Structure 1
Amino acid sequence: MHSSIIRNNETDYEALLAFKAAINDPLHSLESWNSSIHFCRWKGVTCGSRHKRVIRLNLVNQNLTGFISPHIGNLSFLRFLSLDNNSYSGILPPELGRLKRLQSLSVSYNLIGGQIPASLSNCTELSSIIISYNKLAGPLPPELGSLPRLELIAFSKNNISGSIPSTFGNLSSLMRLYGAPMILQAKSLIPNELEGTLPSYLGTTLPNLQIFSVGINLFSGTIPVSLSNATNLVYLHVGYNRFSGKVPSLVKLNKLGVLALSGNLLGKGESDELSFISSLVNATSLVSLGLDDNNFGGQLPVSFWNLSTTLSRLFLTRNQITGTIPSEIGNFVSLLDLRVNDNRFTGMIPYSIGKLRNLQFLDFSRNRFSSNIPSSIGNLSLLLAMYLSENNLSSGMPSSLGNCQNLLELNLSQNALTGPVPREVLSIPSLRTVDLSQNQLNGTLPVEIGVLRIWSISMFLGTTLSVKFLVLLEFFEGLQVLDLSSNKLDGEIPSFLGEFNLLALNLAFNDFEGALQEDGIFKNASLISVSGNPKLCGGIPELKLSKCRLKQHKKSSLSLTSKIVISTFCVILGISMILGVLIVYFLKREKKEPPSNPFGRSLLNVSYQSLLQATGGFSRDSLLGVGSYGSVYKGILEEKLVAIKVLNLSQRGALKSFMAECEALRNIRHRNLAKVLTACSGVDLQGNDFKALVYEYMPNGSLHDWLHPQLDKDLTRGELRYLNLVQRLNIAIDIACAVEYLHLQSGTPIIHCDLKPSNVLLDDEFVGHVGDFGLARFLSKATDSFSKHQTSSSLVRGTIGYTAPEYGTGSEPSTLGDVYSFGILLLEMFTGKRPTGAMFKDGFGLRSFVQNSLPDRLSDIADPELLNERETGTEPSTNGLQHYNSIGNHKYEKCLVKVLSVGVACSADSAKERMSIAEAVNELKSNRDALLRNANYGDEM
């Protein structure tokens, strides 16, 4: 480094070195921070073009620990400070107040304690303060009310106490205030401790307010009437506080997308308490309405059924609402989640419920609905869970329920249902939990019950079923709890039942007969109940059954099938014993080291109990999503937010997926790969095998959620669910760099085999991270061909729409197969169209759609959101990435054409004709750089 440059910028140079000295850097992210190169080229450091002074410090997601050095205050030209998603402790140094040019402070997802420094009020250029998910305590400094440019302040998930300062009424530029996580169903999260009443000025002195989120706190009093004056509000979350009284009119909030009033003390069970709903009729963008867990009474007003048809989440749970659900419920065709349980609704479930074809979750339980279950409910083909328990439903179960082929949970218990259980219902392959108890069902269960694939379920059939026991049980290998009590079951209890890994078995009050065995579960009296079966005998003494009388059998009672099963079992047992002897022999000959943690010494194997606690018992509120081989939960481990992937070991291929992911992630590390923190390989509380992987949590979810938003938990699409051109380019480059690393730079080449938007996760800074290595494959170094021990022709090699065409003819996985998947993904990113869309059929696919229109008919294929950005020159400023004001139409269109051309070149049908991933990386970077050179950044320095 030239000494003159060091002298001219000595203050910044020394401040950065002091900043580095205060932290630990396990990933060696700051290895470049040395005197061999100018500090403006250090990782995470950006300097202004004129004076070469530090204007941006971005060290997001680097696993840094230690504390923020007070020398940070010497970077007097600093405008943007981003330290999110690390493990900083200590405090926010008061010296931050010396950064007079600071515009954005973002230190979320750390372990920072102490109070919010009042000195930040000296940073008069501040437009955003993001300090969520830390350990900050104490009150909000009143001094922050003097910041004239403050547009966003986020302090969710801390220990902030006190009230909202009255000085905040002076924040005339304020658009977004986050005092709670952007989650509607979030009672399990640790709240802040803000209290008192909401300021009466909210809607009057804060006219630009768009987001007001103070849920999960201790606020009380009434909701301010002035809120209706905040006409720009799109997100209002005051749920899970102690608000009481009536909800004021919200008639002027025509832009409102999310209204969360859940978990308060609103209403007194009186008849007119839902009248405010009439004021929401003009909110045509309303997507989520949460009124659950209050004391609202009376009937839903007629105007309720005139709310926006964009409504996708409706929660009325646990109130005192009366009346019926009219046929107008069918107007809400966008509904994904409908919960009206624990109220006083009466009448029939309307036939028009079948119009809600997007519905995934339906809960009408614990009401007073009567009559039959409408057959139209079979139209809800996307339904995952349906709860109609504890009502007065009668007649038979409709066979049309069998059309709900994605159903995971079905609860119809405690009704007055009659007739047999339809074979179509028991043939649903996805069912995991079924509760039909306390009805009046009869008849026999069909043989088709054998197709059920049950995973860790409890089966409750406490009804008057008359069924041949053998037919029922032969296929329930995943059962843990079986309750068939209080029925009319007869015959002998089959001997194989003792071989099930059941935790509880209730056969009480039936008509079983014969000798009860004494092995398996039957040797533990605390796990079984057989009382109320007077014809049973024998068993262990603790059961106090009568002794069996000896009698001769004229012939063997074994059927031909049983004999075949026993013979086969004996053969397998014999072979297993021989193999066991051989294995022991060879183990004695070869001294082997004990198996090591698949992730090396740096990662500990966490216990099942710690993951159970981290996720609140793997609660529904913690569930992030369900995949092919398991479920992903959000949790907190050692005070750090993580994503926990729990394998469904009953699913074929799940164990291989776990091992493949362990092997793939053991020795690879790249900024654009999902980072695995640890693993769990053990048993659960019932002694069953349990395997899980723990990843860094990605706050912005998956790329799929941004490209194809259906239900935005936070806002309407126009606010936070949009990626501009530069962001999409950056994410595409992130993905390409990850693939290039896997193929060319990771030692043994690794093929991902399942590149798609849902497997690309986005961190706080919208950096893309490729994840889910459950199908990953390794290439042999010697032959560059697929290792035979790693492959099977029967294994799935990806997802329909993204899988290379040669895989369909039996070709082995290859790096060019990944390139094809990347090409399709790239086309999807910039067209906004899924490769499996209805328009693509009969040989006409996404690639053909794009190729046939390039370069002249760009407007026919590009994502309309991008075209709108081109026309208006706008881009959302909420995402914290590149800010640009305008790009000429010609330059914009030229960039789009080139990017789409890369996608076409990568997704050629012939593997030999595809562009290499290295070329793709270079092309995309070149296009991005060219685009940004033509963008207007304003006066940088």
Structure 2
Amino acid sequence: MNLVSAFASLILFIHQTHSNTYRAALLAFKNKVFEDIQGNMSSWNESVSHCNWLGVSCSHRHVGRVTALDLPNQKLIGTIPPDMGNLTFLRRHIPEEFGRLFRLNTLILHRNELGGEIPQNLSSCVGMRYLCLHYNRLSGRIPDKLRYLVERGLIAFMVIMNDLTGGIPIWFGNGSSLIELWLGDNHLRGRIPAELGSISKLEHLQLGPNNLIGRIPSSIHNLTTLVDLDLNGNNLHGEIPPEIANYFPHLQGLYLSNNRFSGQVPHSLPNATGLEDLTLGFNSFTGNVPVNLGNLRNLKRISFGENQLQAGPDGLSFLTAFTNCTKLKALDFGHNKFTGEIPASIANLTDTFQRFYLGSNQITGNIPPEIEKLNGLQALFLYNNSISGEIPHGIGKLKNLTVLYLWGNKISGTIPSSLGNITHLLELRLESNQLEGDIPPSLGWCRQLLLLILSDNNLNGTIPKEVVGLSSLSIDFGVARNFLTGPLPFEVGNMSQIVVVDLSDNTLTGEIPSTLSQCIMLQNLDMSGNIFEGSILPSLRTLIGLQYVDLSRNRLSGQIPIYFENFTVLEWLNLSFNSLEGEVPREGLFRDTKCISITGNKDLCGGIKEFGLPACKVRNTKKRRKLPKLKASIAVTVSFFIVLACLIVVVYWRRKSTTRPSIALPIEERFPKVSYAKLRQATDEFSPSHLIGQGSHGSVYRGMLDGNQPVAVKVLNLRQKGAFKSFLAECEALRNIRHRNLVNIITVCSSIDFTGAEFKALVYDLMQNGSLEQWLHPSENQLDMPKLSLKQRLGIAIDAASAIEYLHHHCHTNIVHGDLKPSNVLLDHDMVARVGDFGLARFLHGSTNLDASQCQASSSGLKGTIGYVAPEYGLGGTSSLQGDVYSFGILLLEMFTGIKPTDVMFEDEWNLHEFVKIAQSKSLLKILDPSLLFVEYPAGIDRGQINDANTVRFEENVAEIMRIGVLCSMKLPNERLDMTNALSNLVAVKEKFLKHGM
């Protein structure tokens, strides 16, 4: 018995020793994790068995033996220690997302922020079958010692989206058990090893993009089990073997784009009947397209764009064959040398067909009227060809169309009014054709239109106010070089987000409308070559983001506005050939003659000597001496009567009112009065079913005023301290301001209810899409709400920034909003954001030229919402513009992380600002709102779903947005951006975003 007992003790000791080894290895890993943002490794402590730690699985037969470590997408920042090699029995666990291939023996650490090199000691994990390290920041070379894992049965090796360098090790060729080899999105260089051709069971080979050179080794043809071959984005060259499809009978995806391949498109491709994705774009292929590609019945996407392909004797008839592909979604044959006419048979393409690219070829003939049958078509690119005839009227039946590019052709006739029926249209480019007639007002029905370019045609008539007034237009509005007449409609101010406006070389008349000043995102403005007259308005001083301005060849008069000196980003100003007069400014842009043209204005004088203008004449000195005396006398007299009138008013109101002051009269005069009874009827007696919001000072109800006007009624709770003061503040603010991105007040009610109690309410336009709070943090009964995309969030952020920037810098008196947060950012039916709730608004007294931090508010005290209130407010600081900037910064970070600033994870000095600031140096994708990533990339940011360039641009845009949020929410007020800079930076991100079509 003693021997048995001793043996049992020895076994127990051995198990305990091994258990301690595993525990030590895991703790070593934890110590190398510098940051656990989600706190998921908090369970890894001494008081709990390591088999109960998050992500750790142990054997049921062997006490303490670790069989799996599964920590994907945990936002871990750190390195992988060599001690991980001690986990020699890693086994099991398969995430559902990886399907049937990932059954056993796995190490899953993907989608974290793990850096450093891949530990060579991982080769000790002799039981490993699946090694998943993709989407980290691993660097260095692929360790040679890992060949032991390959030789011992590793099934899949995935390290895409890291920073690995060096060449592809030839020992992968020893891995006869490998099924998946994913090495793309790194910096690997050299040639593709011929040894890879000996991996007899390989199904997925992904080597792009990298920096690989040379030809595809012929040994790859031995991989007869291949399902996907992805070599995109390298520097490979040579011809593709004509029999390539015969080598891979199971092929579903062939990705060879963005290389230097040449020769003809392999004519064996139709034999790969299982092929779904075929991308050969951005190479130097020549010759014809195989005519029998229609045999690929499973084909979904085909991309042959950016090559040197030509049409055969039958022209574009090869397109007819694709009508057999019942799953087809996209055809790309753009930027080649195709000739001939588009066959009418394309109308027989499947209803799933969405994107058709034929731009930049040599196509002739008409657009076939049968195109109206492509019900599922979303994008049509026929630009830069020689297409003639008219635009088919039936094109208006393509209700799903979002992009239509027909520019650079010989299309004649009129613009069909039926285009207005395509209500989802985002971009319309018809420039450089021979179109004539009017611009159809029906284009104003396309309320999501972002870009409209009709330049270089023969259009006449006036610019319809319905079109120029589209608030959605935010990229480019161009009608240059036509024969348009009449004035520029005042509705141009509705395009407050527009970046480029080109009206040049028409016959437009009248004055420059003052509403143009509302286009505060404008960067390029060209109104040259028209008959505009009058002066350059003072109101245009709001367009501080202008980079290019051309007002030449008009009949403008008056002086050159001195505010142009303060346009710091303005690069070119052309005011030549007008009737301008007076002194030319000397500062800013006017110090460099290369940046400005003022020739052809004979009455200008002064300016720097390089302009060569005569000196300005000195006015009569006698008159100048008399004028100040006269002005002084008038000023004294007027001041006396003003003071006297004020004294009379003060005495009168002191005697008349011993209770609360009444609401400021100007707002009652401006808006129609509404009774308590009417508001009660509009809200169904203030029914709880109509309640849409509740705050500290009152409740908001949905209602229908006069039976047809949807409204939001904010009823003040006058028993709540500060409610009446809030009511007056909001009335005062709203009667002084007007902006597209501020809530629109309809009227107010100051009365008594049916019980005789005092009643006060504000009535606004109803915002159909509720508040930003509901979209970012939906309640349980709102979980089916669609998620906001990056584009939508960026647009909302710019809208909110525009509103606050207007309050800070473009009102008669600077206004502090005081309570900026998601629940106070409302969204209308077009998802345009409007800032509301001015109950804590403050008017700043002092010069508008003072630094915001120097301005004192009219009322002090810590007010606002916890998490959004600037730190200095808690130390007794008064309301300031920089306090609003802080709130905006936190709002911006919350919009893109999906994390509230009051989340339980934030304690002491740890807050949302610090959380994002630390993550800035890492991959910000890890802290993004998961719903945002899902909207942008439903299948995950994986190779095969999107290309590397889009991923990089997406990360760059996110990084810039987060940078703006961090700079706005700095702890010290003088370190924060002002709202003008914050707004211009966000607009720059949007412009970059739209430029790349993301």
Q: Distance in 1 between matches of 2:571 and 2:855?
A: 41
> Which among 363, 385, 394 is matched to residue 343 of structure 1?
385
Answering whether residue 525 of structure 2 is matched by residue 511 of structure 1, we say no
Q: Quick check: 2:846–2:855 contact (8 Å CA) kept in 1?
A: no
In structure 2, the partner of 1:475 is 518
Measure, in 2, the Cα distance between the counterparts of 1:75 and 1:239: 42
Give, as a single letter, the amino acid of the residue that structure 1 aligns with 2:340. G
Classify 1:431/1:401 alpha carbon distance in 2 versus 1 (closer, same or farther; 3 Å).
same
Report how far residue 120 of structure 1 moved.
2.2
Q: What secondary structure, in the 3-state scheme, does the structure 2 residue paired with 1:263 have?
A: coil
The alpha-carbon deviation at position 108 of structure 1 amounts to: 1.3
Query: Given the alignment of the two structures, is residue 118 of structure 1 paired with residue 170 of structure 2, yes or no?
Result: yes
Partner of 1:255: 298
| Alignment-derived partner of residue 222 in structure 1 | 264
Distance 2:852 2:252 in 1: 71
TM-score computed with the length of structure 2 as normaliser: 0.56
Q: Distance in 1 between matches of 2:318 and 2:447?
A: 39
1:261: Cα distance to partner? 0.7
245 and 37 in structure 1: CA distance in 2 versus 1, 3 angstrom threshold: farther
Q: Distance in 2 between matches of 1:117 and 1:130?
A: 13
What residue number does 1:242 align with? 284
Deviation for aligned residue 1:123:
2.8
Matched, 1:569 2:569: no
Give the drift of 1:367: 1.0
| Structure 1 Cα separation of the partners of residues 305 and 60 of structure 2 | 50
1:530 and 2:530 correspond:
no
The one-letter amino acid of 1:347's match is: G
Aligned twin of 2:892: 658
Q: Is residue 171–residue 206 contact of structure 1 (8 Å, CA) maintained in 2?
A: yes
From the superposition, tell whether residues 370 and 578 of structure 1 become closer, same or farther in structure 2 (CA, over 3 Å): closer
Residue of 329, 334, 355 corresponding to 1:313: 355
In structure 1, the residue matched to 2:14 is 4
Instruction: Indicate the residue corresponding to 1:703 in structure 2.
Output: 934
Give the SS at the match of 1:87. Answer: coil
2:141 counterpart residue number: 91
Cα-to-partner distance string for 1:147-201 (whole Å, 9 max, x where unaligned): 2321111122211222222222222221111222xxxxxxxxxx31222222333
Q: Specify the code of the residue in structure 2 equivalent to 1:5.
A: H
Is 1:539 the equivalent of 2:584? yes
Matched, 1:79 2:129: yes
CA distance in structure 2 between the partners assigned to 1:143 and 1:175 by the alignment: 19
Contact 1:236–1:259 at 8 Å: present in 2 too? yes
From the superposition, tell whether residues 327 and 530 of structure 1 become closer, same or farther in structure 2 (CA, over 3 Å): same
Deviations 1:423-442 (A, max 9, x none): 11122111122111111110
Distance 1:445 1:348 in 2: 28
Contact 2:458 2:482 in 1 (8 A): yes
CA 1:450–1:102: 2 relative to 1, 3 Å:
same
Alpha-carbon spacing, 1:526–1:232, altered in 2? closer, same or farther (3 Å): closer
Secondary structure of the 1:145 match is: helix
Once the two structures are superposed, residues 545-592 of structure 1 have per-residue CA deviations (whole angstroms, 9 ceiling, x without a partner) of: 44489899x9x9xxxx9xx999983898982349969964999xx9xx
- Residue 424 of structure 1, aligned match among 466, 474, 486: 466
The Cα of 1:391 is off from its aligned counterpart by 0.7
Give the partner amino acid of 1:207. Answer: P
Summarize deviations over 1:823-872 as a string: whole Å, max 9, x none. Answer: xxxxxxxxxxxxxxxxxxxxxxxxxxxxxxxxxxxxxxxxxxxxxxxxxx
1:285 aligns with 2:327: yes
Deviation at 1:329, TM superposition (A): 1.0
Matched, 1:274 2:324: no
Equivalent position amino acid for 2:159 in 1:
V
1:130 offset after TM fit, Å?
1.4
Please, which runs of 5 or more residues in structure 1 have no aligned partner?
181-190, 591-597, 599-649, 682-691, 717-761, 764-770, 776-941
Which of 96, 106, 110 aligns to 2:158? It is 106
Matches for 1:203-218 after TM superposition, within 5 Å:
203-218=245-260
Say if 1:679 and 1:693, in contact at 8 Å, map to a contact too. no
Letter in 1 for 2:126: S
User: For residues 40 and 20 of structure 1, what CA distance do their matches in structure 2 show?
Assistant: 15
Residue 493 of structure 2 is aligned to residue 441 of structure 1? no
Task: Quote how far apart the aligned CAs of 1:714 are.
Answer: 5.7
Equivalent position to 2:110, from 60, 66, 83: 60
User: Which structure's CA Rg is the greater one?
Assistant: 2
Q: Return the offset for 1:338.
A: 1.3
Shift of 1:526: 7.0
Q: Does 1:484 align with 2:530?
A: no
Task: For residue 343 of structure 1, report the CA deviation from its aligned partner.
Answer: 1.1
- Of structures 1 and 2, the one scoring higher in RCO (CA 8 A, sep 6+) is 1
Deviation at 1:487, TM superposition (A): 0.2
Q: CA deviation at 1:415?
A: 0.7
Kept in 1, the 8 Å contact 2:192–2:216? The answer is yes
Residue pairs, 1:663-702, within 5 angstroms: 664=899, 678=917, 702=933
Asked if 1:166 is matched to 2:166, the reply is no
Do the aligned residues in 1 keep the contact of 2:565 with 2:585 (CA within 8 Å)? no
Is 2:159–2:184's contact at 8 Å kept on the other side of the alignment? yes
SS in 2 for 1:251: helix
| Cα 1:536/1:114, change in 2 over 3 Å | same
Contact 2:550 2:574 in 1 (8 A): yes
SS at match of 2:891: helix
- Three-state SS of the structure 2 residue aligned to 1:221 is strand
Query: Which structure shows the bigger proportion of residues in helix conformation?
Result: 2
> Does the C-alpha gap of structure 1 residues 707 and 585 become closer, same or farther in structure 2, counting only changes over 3 Å?
closer
Q: Measure how far apart 1:240 and its partner are.
A: 0.9
Unmatched 5+ stretches in structure 2: 1-10, 68-88, 91-104, 587-592, 605-616, 632-669, 671-735, 738-808, 816-842, 861-867, 869-883, 906-911, 947-953, 956-960, 966-998
Task: Name the structure 2 match of 1:353.
Answer: 395
In the alignment, residue 15 of structure 2 is paired with which amino acid? I
> Cα gap change, 1:89/1:32 in structure 2, threshold over 3 Å: closer, same or farther?
farther
Aligned partner of 1:79: which letter? R
Contact 1:445 1:472 in 2 (8 A): no
Distance in structure 2 (CA, Å) of the matches to 1:700 and 1:195: 40
Q: Which amino acid aligns with 1:61?
A: R
Residue 520 of structure 1, CA deviation: 3.0
SS at match of 2:14: helix
- The structure-2 alpha-carbon separation of the partners of 1:510 and 1:339, relative to structure 1 and needing over 3 Å to count, comes to same
Contact 1:131 1:156 in 2 (8 A): yes
Report if the CA contact (8 A) 1:499-1:520 is conserved: no
Residues 246 and 273 in structure 1, CA contact (< 8 A), matched pair in contact too: no
- Counting only pairs closer than 5 Å after superposition, residues 784-863 of structure 1 correspond to structure 2 as none
**In structure 1, distance between residues paired with 2:214 and 2:282:** 17
Using the alignment, how far apart are the partners of 2:114 and 2:146 within structure 1?
Answer: 19
* Deviation per residue, 1:757-807 (Å, 9 max, x gap): xxxxx99xxxxxxx99999xxxxxxxxxxxxxxxxxxxxxxxxxxxxxxxx
Equivalence for 1:322? 364
Aligned partner of residue 376 in structure 1, secondary structure: helix
Residue type matched to 1:658 in 2?
A: L
SS in 2 for 1:479: coil
Contact 2:436 2:460 in 1 (8 A): yes
Judge conservation of contact 1:661–1:772 (CA < 8 Å) in 2: no
Q: Does structure 2 retain, via aligned residues, the 8 Å contact 1:175–1:210?
A: yes
Instruction: Name the SS of the counterpart of 2:145 in structure 1.
Output: helix
Q: Percent identity over the alignment?
A: 30
Alignment CA distance shift 1:251-1:480 (3 Å)? closer
Residues 438, 34 of structure 1: alpha-carbon distance in 2 compared, 3 angstrom cutoff: same
Query: What is the DSSP-based 3-state SS (H/G/I as helix, E as strand, rest coil) of the residue aligned with 1:489?
Result: strand
Alignment length, in residue pairs? 631
Match of 2:496 in 1: 453
Deviations 1:244-302 (A, max 9, x none): 111113132110000011111212x7763534323322111100111112111222234
Pick the aligned partner of 2:418 from 368, 376, 399: 376
CA contact (8 A) 2:408 2:433 kept: yes
